[in-house]
Amino acid sequence: MKALRCCNSRKALSLPLRYEGAYRAPSSAFVIFGCLALLITTSITQFTIKQLSAYLISTLGSYFYGQVPFEISNLHMLSYLDLSYNYDPDTREKFLQLKNPSLKTLVLNLTRLEVLDFSCINISSEVPGLLSNFTSLRLLLLKDCELHGAFPTKNFHLPNLQVLILQFNENLSGHFLEFHDRSTLLELLLGHTGFFGRLPSSIDKLDSLKILDITGCNFSRAIPHSLGKLAKITELRLRKNNFIGPIPSSFQNLTQLTFLNLNRHKITGSIPPWLGNLTKIEFLDLSENKLEGPIPQSVYKLMNLDDLKLGFNNLSGFLEFDMFLNMKSLTHLHLSWNYFSLVFGKTNTNATRSKFKLLGLSFCNLIEFPNFIGYQNELEWLDLAGNKIYGQIPKWMLNTSVDTLMALIIRSNFLTGFN
């Protein structure tokens, strides 16, 4: 009991605790003055607590710290256990830890759990395989728990699992075996872990999936064609792995996609014209790959696209920049380090339609400062380095973004000063 204390005992705090049995107050919130520790006494555990959440408290600015009390392991009826985010968001210091009992011991008898959220608790152990017996589990949230070892693959096959979050456990490894049964998973977030191997083509069994995040893992080989069969996918966060080969043509069926990040792979081939059919897309990052050829005209039809990153590829061809100026949602555009020849219209009638915040046009073979920049008034970051711009910087250039601009990069040109 001494271990779990509340930092601020003066606040009246509301916990969504529900009781059955002697203390029947099923729908009302239970108000405590002070610490969760007062609740988790041996006397309270004789009631059938079904929900226990300390998250609410941490969102109110009070935190629990110390060891998660052993008594929680006696709450056999528990279906909802949330002790997440008892941490300092600035220093990322975790206030709660799970050492004695360990995660495995604590949950051993909590087999009715539907929701388990221990995000930002220092667990520092492996993920127990026994969780695969928790057939009611819908949400398993273990973000940033300092987990290590290999994630037991059978835990992927929990029959009712909808959300699995293991992000930011850099020493947690794991890989996918084949998926045999259809799955209820909606969100599978593994970013910034040590998961590796290939994405099996049976990944299409996860046919409810909406979000897949494997950012910064170590997956390799080709992106399986079958990923394009997950028609409900809205976010594919695949950044920074080692995928090779082209963007699968099956992705043209992912019409619900709003977010596609393929940054930093070894993806080859050209940008497919059918990208223009993914009309809901808001974020598209294909930078730092080996793509070549032109940008297909259809891309300019993506009117919801807010952020387009194509830098650091081998793309080429004439680019009529005015096409970008007609994309009314576009605020971030990164074209740097390719082999484009940019062409700017002489009259920028529609120039004020686009409100750029970020513009990366370094190494784009520019020979003068593009006119339209003078019409921008929300620019924060402008990179024109490594072009062939001669002479003086015209006054108009910074006319309008003077209040917002934080970075202006114009090195490696042939500039002689301000006009």
Ligand X SMILES: *[C@@H]1O[C@H](CO)[C@@H](O)[C@H](O)[C@H]1NC(C)=O
- Is residue 66 within 8 Å of 97, Cβ to Cβ? yes
- Cβ proximity to ligand X: between 108 and 343 the closer is 108
Q: Please tell me whether residue 314 binds ligand X under the rule CB under 6 A.
A: yes
- Which DSSP state fits 162? -
Specify whether the backbone of 281 is left (phi greater than 0), alpha (psi in -120 to 50) or beta: beta
Which amino acid makes up residue 113? L
- Binders of ligand X among residues 159 to 198 (CB under 6 A) are 170-171, 196
- Cβ proximity to ligand X: between 194 and 360 the closer is 194
CA neighbours closer than 13 Å in the CB half-sphere of residue 216 = 12
Site for ligand X (CB under 6 A): how many residues? 35
Cα separation, 363 vs 360, in Å, equals 9
User: Residue 306 Cβ, how far from ligand X at the closest point, in Å?
Assistant: 18
Tokens 């070892």 locate to 149
- Cβ proximity to ligand X: between 371 and 412 the closer is 371
Q: Please tell me whether residue 218 binds ligand X under the rule CB under 6 A.
A: yes
Q: Please tell me whether residue 228 binds ligand X under the rule CB under 6 A.
A: yes
Among 115, 96, 89, 112, which Cα is nearest to 40's?
A: 96
Q: Please tell me whether residue 322 binds ligand X under the rule CB under 6 A.
A: yes
- Cβ proximity to ligand X: between 17 and 275 the closer is 275
- Cβ proximity to ligand X: between 396 and 418 the closer is 396
Q: Please tell me whether residue 253 binds ligand X under the rule CB under 6 A.
A: yes
Distances (CA, A) of 240 to 37, 261, 288: 43, 9, 9
- Binders of ligand X among residues 281 to 310 (CB under 6 A) are 290
Cα separation, 226 vs 228, in Å, equals 5
- Is residue 190 within 8 Å of 217, Cβ to Cβ? yes
- Which DSSP state fits 376? -
Paired strand residues for 314: 292
Cα separation, 288 vs 310, in Å, equals 8
- Binders of ligand X among residues 340 to 379 (CB under 6 A) are 349-350, 374-375
- Cβ proximity to ligand X: between 326 and 404 the closer is 326
The CB-nearest residue to ligand X is: 374
Tokens 């293991």 locate to 166
Q: Which of 25, 108, 303, 343 binds ligand X (CB under 6 A)?
A: 108
Q: Please tell me whether residue 146 binds ligand X under the rule CB under 6 A.
A: yes
Cα separation, 269 vs 262, in Å, equals 13
- Is residue 151 within 8 Å of 174, Cβ to Cβ? yes
- Is residue 381 within 8 Å of 404, Cβ to Cβ? no
- Binders of ligand X among residues 54 to 73 (CB under 6 A) are 73
Task: Give the distance between the most distant pair of CA atoms in the chain.
Answer: 84
Q: Please tell me whether residue 86 binds ligand X under the rule CB under 6 A.
A: no
Q: What does the per-residue mask of binding to ligand X show for 254-283, with x meaning CB under 6 A?
A: --------------------x--x------
Segment contacting ligand X (CB under 6 A): 78-86, 179-187, 247-255, 407-415? Answer: 247-255
User: Residue 331 Cβ, how far from ligand X at the closest point, in Å?
Assistant: 18
By CB under 6 A, name the binding residues for ligand X.
73-74, 94, 105, 108-109, 122, 124, 129-130, 133, 146, 170-171, 196, 218, 220, 228, 249-250, 252-253, 274, 277, 290, 314, 322, 326, 349-350, 374-375, 396, 399-400
